[in-house]
């Protein structure tokens, strides 16, 4: 977030004299408390200042980059989850290719008859299957998919930065977002998180910081 001159001056005053009340800050700037209220609210919400009742404002000692880093670390998967694209494990490779093309995704999540995550199929998996001499109309997707328990997945409560590290480390495009079924017999797919989702999160965060 880019601070205006008055907000920068407020920070300097609080650095030098904090803890200090809003009235005392207003006196030093020769302004009314009401005039300063929006600036103090912005600086407090952004994390530059902290406030305590009957004590006043004090400087947190954190730089803009430190505050941004803290904000990034707090973003959870739930905030940027997309709708999952799933196919039944009884579907053929041809049907899976059509679904991937029509939905414009890089990864399909395969579910069994109980609606639980059974496998994952990527573009590479489908490309390898289609390059063979076998008839893709007759090859079940469950023959070529990556199966449980060799699937990396995440939960809505996970932190987005941790998932970004996983995607980079494993060199994959996306993960299924899951929740445990009510009887704990499997994992239900409730979303997907991809490199695109993560890019969107950082772009939105940067946009907010520039406002």
Q: What is the DSSP string of 35-88?
A: HHHHHHHHHHHHTSEEEETTTEEEE----HHHHHHHHHHH-BGGGGPBPP-EEE
Q: What percent of the chain has pLDDT over 70?
A: 94
pLDDT digits (tens, 9 = 90+) for 143-192: 999 998 899 999 999 999 999 999 999 999 999 999 998 887 899 999 99
Residue 202 confidence (pLDDT): 83
Rg of the chain over all Cα atoms, to the nearest angstrom: 25
Residue 70 confidence (pLDDT): 73
Instruction: Quote the pTM value.
Output: 0.70
Q: Average of pLDDT values for 77-85?
A: 95
Q: Average of pLDDT values for 110-138?
A: 90
Residue with the two structure tokens 């803290």: 70
Give start and end residues of each alpha helix (H) in the chain: 5-17, 22-29, 33-46, 64-74, 93-103, 123-131, 141-144, 160-170, 195-210
């Amino acid at each position: 977030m880019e601070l205006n001159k008055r907000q920068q001056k407020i920070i300097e005053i609080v650095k030098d004299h904090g803890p200090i009340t809003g009235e005392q800050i207003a006196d030093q700037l020769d302004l009314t408390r009401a005039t300063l209220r929006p600036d103090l609210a912005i600086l407090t919400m952004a994390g530059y200042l902290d406030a305590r009742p009957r004590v006043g404002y004090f400087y947190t000692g954190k730089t803009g980059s430190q505050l941004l880093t803290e904000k990034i670390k707090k973003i959870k998967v739930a905030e940027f989850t997309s709708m999952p694209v799933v196919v039944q494990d009884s579907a053929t490779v041809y049907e899976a290719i059509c679904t991937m093309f029509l939905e414009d995704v890089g990864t399909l999540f395969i579910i069994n008859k109980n609606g639980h995550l059974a496998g994952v199929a990527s573009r590479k998996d489908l490309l390898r299957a289609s390059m063979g001499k076998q008839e893709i109309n007759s090859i079940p997707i469950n023959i070529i998919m990556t199966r449980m328990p060799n699937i990396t997945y995440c939960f809505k409560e996970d932190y987005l930065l941790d998932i970004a590290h996983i995607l980079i480390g494993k060199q994959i495009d996306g993960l299924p977002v899951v929740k445990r079924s009510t009887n704990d017999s499997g994992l239900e797919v409730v979303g997907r998180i991809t490199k695109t989702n993560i890019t969107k999160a950082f772009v939105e965060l940067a946009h907010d910081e520039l406002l």
